[in-house]
Amino acid sequence: MGGSSLVVVLTSDHGESLGDHGYRFAHGEYLYESSLRVPLLVRDPGAVAAGTRTSGLAENVDVAPTILRLLGVDAMQGVEGRPLLLAQDAVAGAPARFVPAPGRPFTHAESDFQLIHEENPRYYIRGPAGRWTSASDGRYKLILIPRAGDELVEMYDLERDPAEEHDLSGDPALAEVRGRLWREVKQYSDYGAGTPGTGPGAPPAEPESISPEERARLRSLGYVN
């Protein structure tokens, strides 16, 4: 166990779009960095040296295994998360010290499909089949956007274009990068049997009934008035 009696972790489950790509004051429907990139700060003075930083890729599912590793708890079972810290060789009688673990080779994300704003012009298919998916290697990110009959692909250089304003998916010089990220997206995409549909102007899908308990949980999160 770390030498500190208190581990403090500051993070967020998502960012918020404030007008980026024409999407305002919401999250969950698009996969741009304004929604995906969140802070992650860990404080455990007895185990992690102050000022330690890592450039490794991480996902939200890595937070819980990281906390448990600091507390000396065995790895979580049946989860995709991985600890973001590695224990150094311990000195006899000294508390464990931790250093950054190697990051992920890719990060993956997918959008929501249940709480979509009706006015969203870029959610072309209703249900799970309309989910956006993305893969990033830290510098480049590819976003796959399903449409009825075809798919849209966008790719951005996050190092040179952090606002994701210049789509590079058609750049022949980046064909290898595009192919690599495309395979990653396809490996983790599972759209399910969503309702095939169209985008703006399509009749709204019939809402699925939910239980009173589910409605209460959604209301507590601010998703139901």
What digits encode the pLDDT tens for the residues 163-194? Answer: 999 999 999 999 999 999 999 998 876 555 44
Per-residue pLDDT averaged across 129-140, rounded? 92
Cα–Cα distance for residue pair 19/24, rounded to 1 Å:
4
What digits encode the pLDDT tens for the residues 10-59? Answer: 999 888 888 788 777 678 788 999 989 999 999 998 888 888 998 889 99
Distant-in-sequence, close-in-space partners of 107: CB < 8 Å, separation ≥ 6 = 57, 58, 59, 135, 136, 138
The CA–CA distances, whole Å, from 43 to 7, 10, 66, 67 equal: 6, 9, 12, 10
What is the domain class of 105-225 according to CATH? Answer: alpha beta
- Look up tokens 């991480």; give the residue: 58
* pTM > 0.85: no
Listed by start position, the domains of the chain span 8-100, 105-225
